Structures are given as structure tokens and as C-alpha cells.
């Protein structure tokens, strides 16, 4: 967002910006940063369980394992994103 401001690009009017991890700073900047909230504790717990299994001589889970369950994430919409306006969306329609 700083680079956009320095370049004179209005956020979100001309450029929408989205972050990841929903860190505290996302609410402290202007405009507030839209972000994807990731459940870090769950991600860490899964990683720890996998590490313990490996240390105990187990096999790592297959990347396409039927037992693997994607982490749930959610979009936290704030002030740094907006719907595209008709002018900026020209040429993007199928």
C-alpha cells in the first residue's frame, strides 16, 4: 500500500490489495487491509503431529492422501479492496 501511495495510485479505488494471515497490523493501517484469515494454531498443530510421527519413525502423509483435510480460511474484507469499476474492468469480461 505504501508503494501505491507513493506512486499516486488510490487504494482501493484504482488498486485493491489483499494480505494473508490477518495480522494485527492489518487493522492499524489506512485503509484497513483486507486479508485472508488462516487458522495458524491448527496449521501448527498439524505440522507438530506430522513431525512427531516422522521422529517416531512413521511415514510422512502423501500429498494427495484421502485423509488430508484442507485448512479452512476466511476472507476478512476491509477497506483496501473494492469492486472493479466498469472502466478498469474493460477487456476482462469473457
34-38/18-20 β-pairing: parallel
The domain locations on the chain are 2-76
Q: pLDDT tens digits, residue range 46-71?
A: 889 888 988 998 877 766 654 567 78
CA distance 90 to 92: 6
**How remote is the C-alpha of 12 from its chain's centroid?**
17
**pTM summary value:** 0.67
Residue 23 pLDDT exceeds 70? yes
Cell of 45: 498443530
Q: How many CA atoms lie within 13 A of 10 on its CB side?
A: 5
The better pLDDT of the pair 17, 94 is held by 17
Amino acid at each position: 500500500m505504501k508503494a501505491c501511495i507513493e506512486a499516486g495510485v488510490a487504494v482501493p479505488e484504482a488498486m485493491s490489495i489483499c494480505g494473508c494471515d490477518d495480522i494485527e497490523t492489518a487493522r492499524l493501517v489506512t485503509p484497513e487491509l483486507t486479508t485472508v484469515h488462516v487458522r495458524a494454531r491448527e496449521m501448527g498443530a498439524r505440522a507438530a503431529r506430522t513431525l512427531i510421527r516422522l521422529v517416531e519413525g512413521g511415514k510422512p502423509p502423501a500429498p494427495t492422501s484421502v485423509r488430508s483435510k484442507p485448512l479452512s480460511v476466511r476472507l476478512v474484507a476491509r477497506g483496501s479492496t473494492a469492486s472493479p469499476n466498469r472502466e478498469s474492468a474493460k477487456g476482462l469480461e469473457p
